[in-house]
């Protein structure tokens, strides 16, 4: 029962992917990656983030990448922003959309952001309000929606709580992340059975990781609930930071093929996707990886 025939895939490789790859990627390579992705026809590409470069060195130079990419009118180029300083950087770079992030669990919030969920939401409410004042669309990420590396299985109520707050701040869409990729389709169904009592599925996106090899099945489960936006990363860029060497972000080409098999339209150019995946493969080979 998929009521959804038209799917949007949000490409997060240049940000969520590269951020979790070991080693430095130069600006030319990043610009090249964004350009080959733009050729594929994505409506949204997450280009980078305006975070402290001493904490996340892979994301240094995001402003420069924005300066150098050729902007297409039919593509929105977005960036992740953790605070008001990041928002300043994003506005100066004339990004088309920003993303903010919070955790559904206290353990991950404390470990990843260094603050409680409540404190992180205070900051995000300011960022979202300021962005809305300038008509900049804001996407919210919620991590650990199925399971947390510190707190174990996540209660659906916790996800509903954070999701509703972010929507209340003015986020247009909430992307729900199975950050450690250990969720099962039944967990996805339990989450959406609860979420859809309070939230319109058209405001939701799925961000699944393939660490447990179940990302495609989990996407299929979310699809049953009318979710029509899914995040993925070209070439599966971005391993799982909690399980070195194992898969993280689900690969765009795999998601694309799955939707094609199901008769869903993504509007993406399959040949261009293959070229972009090859670009990532060459990148890995040049870095000495597999």
Q: Which is nearer to Mg ion, 254 or 269 (CB)?
A: 254
Stretch that binds Mg ion, among 13-21, 120-128, 182-190, 239-247 (CB under 5 A): 13-21
What's the CA gap between 272 and 38, in Å, rounded?
A: 9
CB atoms under 10 Å from CB of 178, counted, come to 29
* Cβ atoms of residues 140 and 101 within 8 Å: yes
For the bound state, the minimum distance from the C-beta of residue 219 to Mg ion, rounded and expressed in Å, comes to 13
For Mg ion, the closer of residues 170 and 254 by Cβ is: 254
Selected range binding Mg ion among 8-16, 67-75, 252-260, 280-288, rule: CB under 5 A: 8-16
Contact yes or no for 252/261 (Cβ under 8 A)? no
Size of site (CB under 5 A) for Mg ion: 2
Distance separating alpha carbons of residues 238 and 18, to the nearest angstrom: 6
Instruction: Give dist(CA 148, CA 60) in Å, integer.
Output: 28
Q: Which of 249, 259, 268, 283 binds Mg ion (CB under 5 A)?
A: 249
Binding mask 64-103 for Mg ion (x = CB under 5 A): ----------------------------------------
User: Which residue in the block uniquely carries the two structure tokens 């609930």?
Assistant: 225
CB of 283 to Mg ion, least distance (A): 18
- What is the separation, in whole angstroms, between the first and last Cα of the chain? 39
Measured CA to CA, the distance from residue 119 to residue 44 in angstroms comes to: 29
Instruction: Report d(CA 34, CA 138) in Å as an integer.
Output: 20
CB nearer Mg ion, residue 245 or residue 288: 245
Can you tell me which of 11, 16, 46, 253 binds Mg ion, judged by CB under 5 A?
A: 16
Task: Give 208 or 225: the residue with its C-beta nearer to Mg ion.
Answer: 208
Rule CB under 5 A: is residue 232 a binding residue for Mg ion?
Answer: no
Q: How far is the CB of 187 from Mg ion (least distance, A)?
A: 17
Torsion over CA: 269, 270, 271, 273 (sign): positive
Residue 11 backbone phi and psi in degrees, to 5: -85, 120
CB of 19 to Mg ion, least distance (A): 9
Residues known to be catalytic: 240
Count of C-beta atoms within a 10 Å radius of residue 282: 12
Give the nearest distance from C-beta 102 to Mg ion in angstroms. Answer: 14
Which one of 74-82, 113-121, 249-257, 273-281 is the stretch in contact with Mg ion (CB under 5 A)?
A: 249-257
Smallest gap, in angstroms, from Cβ of residue 248 to Mg ion? 6
Of the ranges 61-69, 72-80, 128-136, 241-249, which one interacts with Mg ion (CB under 5 A)? 241-249
With vertex at residue 117, the alpha carbon angle to CA 151 and CA 176, rounded to the nearest 5 degrees, is: 75
Identity of the residue, 2 or 246, whose beta carbon is nearer to Mg ion in the bound complex: 246
Least Cα distance to 176 among 198, 144, 220, 137 occurs for 144
User: Residue 167 and residue 161: Cα distance in Å, rounded?
Assistant: 10
Of 29 and 233, CB closest to Mg ion: 233
Residue with tokens 């605070």: 83
Q: What is the contact surface with Mg ion in residues (CB under 5 A)? A: 16, 249
């Amino acid at each position: 029962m998929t009521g959804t025939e038209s799917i949007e895939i949000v490409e997060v490789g240049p940000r969520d992917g590269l951020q979790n790859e070991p080693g430095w990627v130069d600006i030319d390579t990043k610009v090249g990656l964004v350009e080959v992705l733009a050729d594929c026809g994505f409506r949204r590409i997450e280009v980078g983030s305006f975070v402290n470069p001493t904490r996340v060195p892979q994301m240094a130079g995001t402003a420069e990448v924005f300066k150098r990419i050729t902007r297409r009118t039919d593509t929105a180029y977005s960036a992740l922003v953790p605070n008001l300083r990041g928002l300043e950087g994003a506005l100066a770079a004339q990004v088309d959309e920003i993303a903010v992030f919070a955790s559904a669990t206290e353990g991950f919030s404390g470990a990843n952001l260094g603050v409680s969920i409540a404190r992180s939401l205070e900051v995000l409410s300011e960022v979202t309000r300021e962005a809305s004042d300038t008509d900049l669309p804001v996407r919210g990420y919620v991590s650990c929606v199925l399971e947390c590396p510190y707190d174990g299985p996540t209660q659906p109520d916790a996800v509903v709580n954070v999701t509703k707050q972010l929507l209340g701040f003015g986020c247009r869409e909430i992307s729900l992340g199975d950050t450690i990729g250990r969720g099962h389709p039944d967990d996805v169904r339990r989450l959406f059975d609860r979420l859809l009592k309070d939230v319109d599925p058209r405001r939701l996106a799925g961000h699944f990781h393939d660490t447990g090899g179940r990302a495609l099945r989990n996407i299929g489960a979310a699809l049953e609930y009318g979710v029509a936006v899914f995040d993925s990363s070209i070439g599966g860029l971005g391993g799982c930071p909690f399980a070195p060497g194992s898969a993280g972000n689900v690969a765009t080409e795999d998601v694309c093929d799955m939707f094609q098999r199901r008769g869903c339209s993504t509007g993406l150019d399959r040949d261009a996707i293959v070229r972009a995946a090859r670009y990532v493969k060459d990148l890995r080979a040049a870095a000495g990886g597999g």
